[in-house]
Amino acid sequence: MSHLLHLDASARRASFSRELSRTFAEHWRAAHPDAAYTYRDLAADPVPHIGEAWTELCDHVLEHGVTDIARYPEAARTPGQKEAWAVVEPLLAELVAADVVLIGTPMYNFSIPSSLKAWLDQVTFPRMSLAGRRFVVTAARGGAYGPGMPREPMEYQERYLRDFFKGHFAVEDVDFVTTEMVNSLIDPALAHRQDEHRVSRAAALRRAEEVAGR
């Protein structure tokens, strides 16, 4: 049975990345009425940042060549390590159970929110593989960072996540659905570019529906 894990990371409750992730989720669930669905709001219910005990779990997995995710609990030996594992375990279980992972994220300061980075840190261990799973990222950006734009070299949102999924999870099946120029709605200096945003948003909503039908 298919299982969708849906994560949102925007600090805004009414955000464009949430709108896009919701659109994907609604259409995907309509196309898979018997599928399981898990939702986690990383902004409303933040995941703690990793601490030293987590690094000890990571070191144990690396030192002993553990690649089977089911064996990760063996790394938790001390009280501190067991406490760290108690944070990791439910997050990792949700991730492993899913065959489709949906992440709604804004661009903050050229990259991703710390709430999403904290989640990625908690669920990532050396040489783990999530090959065979599909990732979908619905993203929003205040400016324009697409190909040929002046700020393209500063785009560390999609580039970072794509490299992360491939480098750490061995996942290459990744779709990005992005709307840009959202700051044109509030920044007087960008008001003349509101039409760009409207076109971008409409295209992203259509793309979210299309990608959900895969």
Rg (CA), the chain: 18
Q: Is 15 within any annotated ligand binding site?
A: yes
Q: Is 10 within any annotated ligand binding site?
A: yes
Task: Please give the pLDDT value at position 1.
Answer: 72
Q: Burial-class residue 80 by CB neighbours within 10 Å (0-12, 13-18, 19+).
A: middle
Task: Please give the pLDDT value at position 154.
Answer: 86
Q: What is the CATH number of the domain that holds 149?
A: 3.40.50.360
Nearest-angstrom CA–CA distance, 155 and 146: 8
Q: Is 183 within any annotated ligand binding site?
A: no
pLDDT in tens, 34-54: 999 999 999 999 999 999 999
Whether 19 has a pLDDT exceeding 90, the answer reads yes
Residue 44: closest CA among 15, 23, 20, 3: 15
Tally of structural domains, the chain: 1
pLDDT in tens, 136-179: 999 999 998 888 888 889 899 999 999 999 999 999 999 999 99
Q: Is 109 within any annotated ligand binding site?
A: yes
pLDDT in tens, 80-105: 999 999 999 999 999 999 999 999 99
Scanning the structure block, which residue is given the tokens 């063996």? 74
Q: Is 24 within any annotated ligand binding site?
A: no
Nearest-angstrom CA–CA distance, 106 and 90: 24
Secondary structure (3-state) at 171: coil
Q: Which domain holds residue 33?
A: 3-212
Q: Is 114 within any annotated ligand binding site?
A: no
Q: Is 184 within any annotated ligand binding site?
A: no
Residue 92: closest CA among 117, 119, 74: 119
Higher pLDDT, 146 or 27: 27
Q: Is 200 within any annotated ligand binding site?
A: no
Higher pLDDT, 56 or 151: 56
